[in-house]
Amino acid sequence: MLLVAFPAKAQTTQFLPGTVKVESNQVTPNFPDTIDFRFSAQTDPGAPVFNTLELAYRIEGEVETNIRHSDLAPGDPLSADISIDTQKDYLPPGTRISYYWLLGTSGGETYQTPTQEFTYQDTRYPFKELKSGLFTVRWFQGDAAFGQAAMKRVTSTVDKLSQLYKVNPDTPINLTIYPDTQTMFTALPPNTQEWVGGQAIPELGTIVLAIAPGDTAKIGRSIPHEVSHQVVYQATRNPYNVTPKWLDEGLAVNNQDQVDGFLIQAFEKARDERTLFPLRVLNGSFPADSQLSYVAYGESVQVVRYILQKYGNAGMEKILGSFKQGVSYDEAIQIGLGLSLDQLDREWKQSIGYPVPDLPAPTATPTPLAVIPTPAAQPSPTLYISPSPTTGNQATPTQAVVPVVSPAATQAATQAVVPVVTPDTAASAAGTPGNPLPTTALGASSPIRGNSTATASPANVNGDGTNGWLIAGLAGTAVILLGGLAVFLVLAVRKQ
């Protein structure tokens, strides 16, 4: 008997035939609780008989498409109401979403409605809106001049980064401004810690900040910082890794108008006590302890300014440009500066008189570096220097909920998360990339990417300069050794 393998019939998706009349295809955002989708249609004689109806939607900036399924029994109306719980699956204001409906038959045929796109916005307040190219600024307290000042800082920051390092955004950036932290908290994820002063999710292109009308200092600090994160993310986006934390945060702090004194103090204390971090340690997450994170941010901006002073904007341009190709951290530094990451760390620390050990001799076969996967989307908080949200009258929301739906093409993007910091404390003079500030003039920074960090809490550092995390690590090692000894003794007794 001859067996012949026939290829499986490919399932194709096609648009709805003329015998299916769509009556309703609506989306209603009810910020911050839900997004409600509704579909209904009538069929003429001869139309396909459908047994499934699915909502397919994708968050712009994410790769995956989400499917919500609805079964249809014979005789059921061709309709569905599907709701996304945006308290459980949090989405910030300014999130762009594309969606379509899929109708399936028992014979395996699939029909699709045209793709629609809308932006999930906070409709509780009478927001004003300004658009300029890829950028949108929304605010509801303050006059037109306030919104124009915010937009000016967005566009001037993008122009500056483009001129200095040849990095440019290619997808929209949406900035939503609330007049105080109390009101802003209603737009952040449930159970957000009280010290948070804002949020940014670069892969979604969203920034949420609390800036009171007339607060020009905060406009000059928070907006350039956050826009820097957005632009650097978009310019270096690749499927393999993200920019090292010290580089991303150092650039963002250096991009601010003003710098904050608490970073100066934390950095100088660590420098004098000889407790600065190895630069390689700062590739990833910064310490959760606020005082140690201040050291990390202060050290990061100093390294960035050292690079700009010695190697110029061209060196930084090469480093950032190499990440688009998905190279490792060490490879990016080698391409941009012609030395290894460890050599950069040693060179910078020697320039400030910091003692450094000798580097080990290079081996013939270098150890390969692990590829760092791009993290999933998650909110990144902005540090707020006050231990509690700003008090005052909370804005009263309006009741109108107006959905916005328009056809548009969509595109996928990889993910990464970058944070925000807007501590309200006395600021010292700012430096320029070509004229780095001395070690006593550092900038404010944002909290750890993908992690929450407390603010203004006592440093987890002992009087002798020993870091708390080192003590915790030694204690953990001791516990493991004691546990192993206990197991050994038990086995020894059993053998007897």
- Write the DSSP assignment of 140-167 as a string of letters: SSS-HHHHHHHHHHHHHHHHHHHHHH--
CA torsion angle 287 290 291 292 (round to 10):
0
Reduced to 3 states (helix: H, G, I; strand: E, B; else coil), residue 333 is helix
Reduced to 3 states (helix: H, G, I; strand: E, B; else coil), residue 278 is coil
CB 263 within 8 A of CB 297: yes
Q: Compute the half-sphere exposure of residue 163: CA atoms within 13 Å on the CB side of its CA.
A: 9
Q: Compute the half-sphere exposure of residue 91: CA atoms within 13 Å on the CB side of its CA.
A: 26
Short-list 267, 131, 192, CA closest to 454: 192
What DSSP character marks residue 338? Answer: S
Q: What is the pLDDT of residue 157?
A: 97
What DSSP character marks residue 17? Answer: P
Place of tokens 């306030």: 146
Short-list 173, 58, 38, 198, CA closest to 118: 58
d(CA 480, CA 475): 9
Q: Structure tokens of 18?
A: 């003329």
Place of tokens 């081996």: 363
Please report, for residues 166, 167, 433, 434, the alpha-carbon distance to residue 317 in angstroms, rounded to integers and kept in the order given: 6, 8, 12, 14
Please report, for residues 13, 217, 252, 318, 382, the alpha-carbon distance to residue 416 in angstroms, rounded to integers and kept in the order given: 32, 28, 16, 21, 16
Instruction: Kindly report the length of the chain.
Output: 496
d(CA 36, CA 86): 10
Q: What is the pLDDT of residue 150?
A: 98
CB 185 within 8 A of CB 192: yes
Q: Per-residue pLDDT for the chain (496 aa), expressed as one digit of tens each? A: 444 443 433 456 799 999 999 999 999 999 999 999 999 999 999 899 999 999 999 999 999 999 999 989 888 999 999 999 999 999 999 999 999 999 999 889 999 999 999 999 999 999 999 999 999 999 999 999 999 999 999 999 999 999 999 999 999 999 999 999 999 999 999 888 776 778 889 999 999 999 999 999 999 999 999 999 999 999 999 988 899 999 999 999 999 987 778 888 899 999 999 999 999 999 998 888 888 999 999 999 999 999 999 999 999 999 999 999 999 999 999 999 999 999 999 999 999 999 988 776 655 444 444 444 444 554 555 555 443 333 333 443 433 333 333 333 333 333 333 333 333 332 333 333 333 333 222 323 333 223 332 222 233 332 333 344 444 454 555 555 666 665 555 455 444 4
Please report, for residues 31, 34, 125, 140, 176, the alpha-carbon distance to residue 399 in angstroms, rounded to integers and kept in the order given: 11, 15, 8, 15, 19
What DSSP character marks residue 198? Answer: E
Q: What is the pLDDT of residue 270?
A: 96
Sign of CA dihedral 352, 355, 360, 365: negative
Q: Tell me the backbone φ, ψ of residue 95, rounded to 5 degrees.
A: -70, 130
What DSSP character marks residue 204? Answer: G
- Rama region for 82: left / alpha / beta (φ>0; ψ in -120 to 50; rest): beta
Q: Listing from the earlier edge strand, what are the strands of the sheet with 78-85?
A: 20-30, 34-43, 78-85
CB-count exposure of residue 85 (10 Å: 0-12, 13-18, 19+) = exposed
Q: What is the pLDDT of residue 198?
A: 81
Place of tokens 């699709």: 112
Which residues, including other chains, have CB under 8 Å from residue 244's CB and lie 6 or more apart?
282, 283, 284, 329
What ranges in 338-389 are assigned the alpha helix state H?
341-351
Q: What is the pLDDT of residue 409?
A: 34
What DSSP character marks residue 346? Answer: H
Distance spanning both ends of the chain, measured CA to CA: 67
Q: What is the pLDDT of residue 49?
A: 92
Q: What is the pLDDT of residue 373?
A: 45
d(CA 396, CA 182): 12
d(CA 353, CA 274): 11
d(CA 297, CA 275): 14
Q: Listing from the earlier edge strand, what are the strands of the sheet with 135-139?
A: 128-132, 135-139, 173-178, 206-210, 196-201, 380-383, 420-421
Place of tokens 């969509």: 410
Which residues, including other chains, have CB under 8 Å from residue 438's CB and lie 6 or more apart?
none
Q: Structure tokens of 430?
A: 């700012």
**Residues in a beta bridge with 85:** 34
- Specify the DSSP element, H or E, that contains 261: helix 261-272
